[in-house]
């Protein structure tokens, strides 16, 4: 008998405002309610709250809804510190008081480690810093609105490519935040604004940095206006005519200081955005490693030497490994600048098999890993073979930390300490540190 395909009838989405009770937060900071046992994710909702929300998506296993109104508020709810909070996509947790934010992040970290690594451990006290003015770098989007012919100058809206124009940002370093409005005004005076790509603002210990990405050449008068602006605000100006191509026009090369060393950087180099928490993070990593003068330490994903150079002050030898040639050269130069003679740096793709490379034949007492969000899957299985009995893993993604922890546990390490680093207050982004020890 012939069978004919019959398309399933599309269920009509109920877009009427409905009352939900928020049960908990997910790992991205959204509230979770339940409707007929199906989770409904509602951004902006807090546990214990009753909210009116409108469904925007309904799948077989979950649904999403927009928060319309909080009917019964949680005691943990606070007024956001930013006037643009409801529109801007930069922060997603300003409606939750700061202590509850930190408790939520610690709980998230513990849950992920218990679920994926099978390790239940009480977290150490979090490393924290100021909750405002903490960011020392940001990227500002620029777009000419074709309808209004006005320049949009600010940050991406929530779940959108559209831009919300801002004149200040309370989580940005105050000196950088104060540059936003006058810089917007200056760039609005340029004739062909479609040539402008974006602006980056970075704070060094010695200078403020302005980077302008432009898609076509600027006029001589526009360059003069930018230089005058930088000089007036005691800032360093870089122009970026092509991606990753920087021309310093005026001002000092930026640097920051960490644990007794000076680390120069270019504005397109990676540095931790929260200097206060970076101080605490480096200090805690060095303390957890229990460094001894005779130790040989391997710093994987070493970057500019944020950990390597402070480590070198307390041990016999540090070997830093980084995937990008330019960063290796800069880490070596930073070592020479600080008269650090017991640190060597190598380039290697740590996502591939590194066996056979010169430094892998050496043995190390301690290892520090600070990988990107993808984690350290390429090197993690070789940690035990490198001889270390103490490993500190710094992570910006608890999911990959939990995954890589499974390998360390199989190699005979035990998870001894776990801690949250509040690198990004008012967001759900979670930085963490774990200590693994082998008898």
Active site (catalytic) residues: 396
CB 250 within 8 A of CB 231: yes
Q: How far is CA 272 from CA 256, 279, 427, in A?
A: 11, 10, 15
Backbone angles phi, psi at 38, to 5 degrees: -95, 130
b/e string for 4-14 if b means 16 or more Cβ within 10 A?
Answer: eeeeeeeeeee
CB 365 within 8 A of CB 388: yes
Closest C-alpha among 194, 244, 191 to residue 220: 191
Cα separation, 297 vs 87, in Å, equals: 46
Pairing assessment for the beta strands 18-21 and 137-144 based on DSSP bridges:
unpaired
String of DSSP letters for 325-338: HHHHHHHHHHHHHT
What is the token pair recorded at 46? 């807090």
Element (H, E) at 345: strand 343-347
Q: How far is CA 175 from CA 86, 136, 169, 389, in A?
A: 24, 9, 11, 44
3-state secondary structure of 29: coil
Cα separation, 382 vs 360, in Å, equals: 9
């Amino acid at each position: 008998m012939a069978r004919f395909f019959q398309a399933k009838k599309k269920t009509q989405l109920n877009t009427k405002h409905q009352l939900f009770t928020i049960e908990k937060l997910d790992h991205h900071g959204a509230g979770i309610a339940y409707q007929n046992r199906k989770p409904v994710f509602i951004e902006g909702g807090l546990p214990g709250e009753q909210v009116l929300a409108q469904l925007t998506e309904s799948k077989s296993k979950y649904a999403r809804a927009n928060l319309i109104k909080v009917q019964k508020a949680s005691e943990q709810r606070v007024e956001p510190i930013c006037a643009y909070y409801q529109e801007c996509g930069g922060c997603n947790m300003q409606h939750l008081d700061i202590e509850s934010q930190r408790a939520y992040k610690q709980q998230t970290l513990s849950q992920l480690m218990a679920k994926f690594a099978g390790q239940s451990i009480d977290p150490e006290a979090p490393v924290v810093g100021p909750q405002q003015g903490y960011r020392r770098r940001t990227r500002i989007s620029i777009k000419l609105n074709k309808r209004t012919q006005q320049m949009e100058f600010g940050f991406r809206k929530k779940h959108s490519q559209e831009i919300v124009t801002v004149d200040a940002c309370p989580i940005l370093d105050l000196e950088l935040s104060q540059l936003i409005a006058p810089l917007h005004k200056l760039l609005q005076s340029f004739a062909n604004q479609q040539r402008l790509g974006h602006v980056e603002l970075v704070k060094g210990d010695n200078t403020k940095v302005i980077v302008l990405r432009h898609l076509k050449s600027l006029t001589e008068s526009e360059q003069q206006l930018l230089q005058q602006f930088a000089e007036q605000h005691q800032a360093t100006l870089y122009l970026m005519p092509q991606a990753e191509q920087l021309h310093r026009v005026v001002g000092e090369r930026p640097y920051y200081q960490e644990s007794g060393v000076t680390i120069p950087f270019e504005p397109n180099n990676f540095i931790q955005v929260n200097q206060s928490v970076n101080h605490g993070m480096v200090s805690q990593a060095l303390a957890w490693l229990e460094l001894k003068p005779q130790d040989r330490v391997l710093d994987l994903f070493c970057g500019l030497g944020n950990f390597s150079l402070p480590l070198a002050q307390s041990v016999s030898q540090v070997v830093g490994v980084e995937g990008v040639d330019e960063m290796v050269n800069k880490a070596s130069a930073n070592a020479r600048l600080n008269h650090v003679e017991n640190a060597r740096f190598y380039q290697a793709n740590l996502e591939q098999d590194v066996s056979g490379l010169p430094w892998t034949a050496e043995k190390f007492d301690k290892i520090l890993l600070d990988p990107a969000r993808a984690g350290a899957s390429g090197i993690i299985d070789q940690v035990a073979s490198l001889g270390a009995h103490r490993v500190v893993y710094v992570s910006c993604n608890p999911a990959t930390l939990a995954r890589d922890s499974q390998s360390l546990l199989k190699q005979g390490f035990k998870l001894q300490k776990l801690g949250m680093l509040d690198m990004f207050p008012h967001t759900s982004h979670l930085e963490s540190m774990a200590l693994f020890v082998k008898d």
